[in-house]
Amino acid sequence: MKKQVFVPFVLLLLFVLGASELLAQNSRAKFRKPATSAFNPEKDPPFLNAKQQWVDSVFNTLTPEERIAQLIMIPVYSNRDQAHIDSISNLIKTYKVGGVIFFQGGPVRQAKMTNRYQRESRVPLMVSIDGEWGLSMRLDSTTRFPYQMSMGGVEDEKLIYDMGAEIARQCRRMGININFAPTVDINNNANNPVIGFRSFGEDKYNVARKSIAYMKGMQDQHVLASAKHFPGHGDTNVDSHVGLPVINFSRIRLDSTELYPFRQLMANGLGSVMVAHMNIPVLDNTPNLASTLSKSIVSDLLKEELGFKGLVFTDALNMQGVAKFYAPGIVDVKALLAGNDVLLNTMDVKTTIEEVKKAIKSKEITQDEVDARCRKVLAAKQWMGLDEWKPIETAHLIEDLNNPHAVYLNRQLTESSLTLLRNKQNILPIRTLDTLKVAALAIGTTKETDFQRSLAKYIKVDTFFLSPNSSIAELQQMKEQLQSYNLVIAGVHKLQLKAGASNFGVTAEMNLFLKDLIRSKPTIVSVFGNVYSLAKFEGIDKANAVLAAYQENETAQDIAAQIIFGGLGAKGKLPVTVSNAFRIGDGLVTQGDLRLAYSAPEAVGLNTKDLAGIDSLVAQAIKEKATPGAQVLVAKNGKVIYYKSFGYHTYDNQRPVQNTDLYDLASVTKVSTSLAAFMKLKGEGRFDVDKTLGDYLPMMQGTNKESLRYRDILTHQARLQAWIPFWKETVKKNGKFKWFTFKADSSRRFPIKVADNLYIHRKYAKKIYKEIAASPLNEKGGYVYSDLSFILAPLVVKNITGQDFESYLKENIYKPIGATTLTFNPYKYYPASQIVPTEYDQEFRKQLLHGTVHDEGAAMLGGISGHAGLFGNANDLAKLMQLYLNDGTYAQQTYIGGNTVSEFSKCQFCEQGNYRALGFDRSSRPGAENSNAAKSAPVESFGHSGFTGTYTWIDPVNDIVYVFLSNRVNPTRENNKLSKLNIRTKALQVVYDAMEKAKKSDTVSVKQ
């Protein structure tokens, strides 16, 4: 009987063992390369198509302990000491862990550590990072992309795909194989302390679409994406880093909402999932059990019910959501038993391996199950390219991680995300500038902000600051200070990102002041912080305009200013409901391209690196002492794509040149003042270039200049002398000034400042005009460049308009277009530190000219003339040149009518050998290498140069405005190196070369 019982038992045992082996084989086969027909590249995780030969070859070399170790990833920091670095090395060599997750540090340090650890590891390590908004989430010196919340309102999801691809390229450059992103949690709880700004929003469809775009961008570049935090961390008020959130909603709610984006990503080839630390009674009612440790959630729901085949990562196992309940090693094995494939942030590797071995021995998990997960990890590594690992090249690493494409993409995303929530009476974009007195108020900080600096690119603003905890007295004082302003543009700064008891840092004082301000005067409010903070400001929806910027960085602040003034248009949509006033989907659209925008070369199809030649040329000029410093601006298609300052004010290298500094424009004054006025008057029918000087200036009647036609005058062929050295008439033989000319102190008779401690007689200008009237004409006709008619221009303009020259220009042109630094005698309006000095005049004024005009004749006219005397920065001069490029219009307002600029900028007497336009210079030798214009500048282009080292050029064919400002005459006008090196026109040629290169690149792309 015993034999009869035993035989069937043995047979049964053999059957069971055989079945087990068959199951194990099936399990192993499941993670080998499937048949071509079985792998679905659209739906399956990409690494399921890995080369199984490499997987098998590596797997077969591993001991059972090493297979367990492949499932372990340990935390690493590149900002810690050598002891930490060495301790990680010891863990890798001793236990053969499968991967690392890097936290805070720097790119080069991390790259060196990665190279070391990969060399020390027999099986290549899977290197990971939490980089939801790019590497900058963990690493310094890297590009910070927008938070997901801000991108929730971006309508062009191709931009999010591109961001995913760029983040992946940066990851690969850093030797990173998996980025734990995107966050697919649906943030439907405004008080969520851990997700919030990290979510794409509260609409499940929007979250899914944007998450898919982000995921595909990364995985198309062979960096594994990881959807987190399964099964959904968006509706919680507990941070799982510090505690265990309890989620009490129903399974129906979970299925319909939280799981929706996970399902969508899985259907589109998601590579991995990260499981959250949350207690979800409807799925597993075990007390204090995190979802990470729940078999019902990880194995049954995620793997079986949802059919997820990719890698399953735990969230960090040192977070208090799990760590407060289980010791290191114990928590890891529980996570493995629940069904997770990879243990993230294992804090005790030795104990973890021992505990897993115990679990295998006690049959809580089988070696085959561990082996299957090990194979899955190896397959992912092969797909990531770790089978052909190469060391990270640290040369140019920082440069590569901050490449121009990434910088421009970041700008595009930010531009697309900023959301205009209020715009009463279409106050934005601001259209009229000359009637505004603007206060730029920074709430929450006492330091000048990027927002204030960017606002100042468009209009003169006075800056004010309000600390978050200002006293009642300080609030009242600020209210009084703002009384005289008819527009306040307020930026709210230094807000906290996370929800909590602090209301994002919105204080009662901030609330009180802003509410009162909005009631009392026109106010535009831009909030630079978590969009949920808007709900904490009482009455903010009553502001004239409200702009949600989502985050505080230079790019967001710059773009907010551009939206306000119409350089860019608003187009973002609110991805969450903030309050009854601001609901999901809100977002007004405004017009862009109203004024100059400030962007990157990539915005007009050029490459930033192709404009680097400008930097090199200016550096050469400074090195060879052709000029101590310079400002260079290039605008194309209405966008400023290059604006930099170089060097110092003087060769003592004490004060660096800033973009806001003013230069003496010298003869560029002619086209910026006299010509501006003449063209405006021509457009109004009050000036005719075929009338004479005598027609417009009675004092010239009866002189040899009475019948000079303005068409000839403006083309410098009216036989006028080139110039007259007026100052020499004031000097006696002993070198001292004649008594009726200059005095060291101002007085009623000598009120006009010529330079420091030098004042001219109040009637001396009449002598200058008489001297011009009496001057002989050149015997021969033809082209001779002359200052004389431009010196008379202010008199002509006053005679026509009844208004003095400076007031006419400022009120009718400069202020309306926001070119407020264009001014005569800048010492009256600006600190000396903002004005770049010119020459040390050893002949006439015996001093360094600083804040007063360099040209002697203009100086003797009190600094106001039509041939020289204007000061300004490159930005404001560019606005005027853009007005010219637009044939007299700017911000949809016509300032010079009748196509006058087009007429004035045409060559008038080319057939006679005079290449000049009416007042404007044109290329004297088109196509020449060293000429007054860039070699590739078309014949239709025009501009002017200035004696002090200034230059501006307008190309209507290619829609280019170019400004080059320098003080090459410092310390002496005898220095002519800038012209000899031809720096000004060569720098513009760099732009043409970049355009040609881009054109060839586009042609190649089309052919391909």
| DSSP characters over 28-56 | HHHTSPPPTTT--TTTS-GGGGS-HHHHH
pLDDT of residue 521: 96
Going from the C-alpha of 562 to that of each of 428, 596, 636, 844, 863, the distances in angstroms are 10, 9, 16, 45, 34
- Segment 811-858, tens digit of pLDDT: 999 999 999 999 999 999 999 999 999 999 999 999 999 999 999 999
| Average pLDDT score over residue span 29-40 | 52
pLDDT of residue 1004: 62
Phi and psi torsions of 902, nearest 5°: -60, -40
| Average pLDDT score over residue span 291-305 | 97
**Domain boundaries 418-590, corresponding CATH code:** 3.40.50.1700
The answer to whether the CB of 407 falls within 8 A of the CB of 143 is yes
Least confident of 322-326, 514-518, 809-813: 322-326
Q: Which of 558, 209, 596, 208 is nearest to 418 (CA)?
A: 558
| Average pLDDT score over residue span 506-524 | 95
Residue 136: pLDDT above 80? yes
Least confident of 313-322, 378-387, 712-721, 876-885: 313-322
Which residues does 1 contact at the CB level (< 8 Å), separation at least 6?
none
Residue 20: pLDDT above 60? no
pLDDT of residue 376: 98
- What are residue 101's DSSP bridge partners? 75, 128
Quickly tell me which residue has 């991805």 as its tokens: 575
| DSSP characters over 489-552 | EEEE-S--SS-STTGGG--HHHHHHHHHHHHHS-EEEEE-S-GGGGGGSTTGGGSSEEEE--S-
Work out the pLDDT band at 383, boundaries 50, 70, 90. Answer: very high
Work out the pLDDT band at 499, boundaries 50, 70, 90. Answer: confident
Q: What is the mean pLDDT of the chain?
A: 94
**Domain boundaries 654-911+951-975, corresponding CATH code:** 3.40.710.10
Structure tokens at 26: 């099936």
Least confident of 33-42, 261-270, 454-463: 33-42
Q: pLDDT: is 240 or 340 the higher one?
A: 340
pLDDT of residue 597: 98
- 546-564 b/e with 16+ CB inside 10 Å = b? bbbbbbbeebbbbbbbbbb
- Segment 197-218, tens digit of pLDDT: 999 999 999 999 999 999 999 9
Q: What's at 755, amino acid-wise?
A: A
pLDDT of residue 33: 39
Residue 175: pLDDT above 60? yes
Residue 953: pLDDT above 50? yes
The answer to whether the CB of 288 falls within 8 A of the CB of 244 is yes
Query: pLDDT exceeding 70 applies to what percent of the chain?
Result: 96
| DSSP characters over 830-862 | S-GGGB----EETTTT-EE--SS-SSHHHHHTT
Sign of the C-alpha dihedral, residues 132, 136, 142, 148?
positive
Topology agreement, domain 49-399 and domain 654-911+951-975: no
Work out the pLDDT band at 241, boundaries 50, 70, 90. Answer: confident
Residue ranges of domains in the chain: 49-399, 418-590, 654-911+951-975
The answer to whether the CB of 605 falls within 8 A of the CB of 960 is no
What burial class does residue 806 get, using C-beta atoms within 10 Å of its C-beta: 0-12 exposed, 13-18 middle, 19+ buried?
A: buried
Please give the positions annotated as active site: 241, 315
Work out the pLDDT band at 22, boundaries 50, 70, 90. Answer: very low
pLDDT of residue 39: 86
Which residues does 61 contact at the CB level (< 8 Å), separation at least 6?
122
- What are residue 692's DSSP bridge partners? 709
Q: pLDDT: is 194 or 525 the higher one?
A: 525
pLDDT of residue 156: 96
Give the CATH fold of the 49-399 domain: TIM Barrel (3.20.20)
In this structure, what DSSP letter does residue 268 have?
T
- Segment 666-684, tens digit of pLDDT: 999 999 999 999 999 999 9
Residue 350: pLDDT above 90? yes
What burial class does residue 743 get, using C-beta atoms within 10 Å of its C-beta: 0-12 exposed, 13-18 middle, 19+ buried?
A: middle
pTM score over 0.85: yes
- Segment 611-638, tens digit of pLDDT: 999 999 999 999 999 999 999 999 999 9
Residue 655: pLDDT above 80? yes
Going from the C-alpha of 69 to that of each of 102, 237, 272, 354, the distances in angstroms are 18, 35, 19, 11
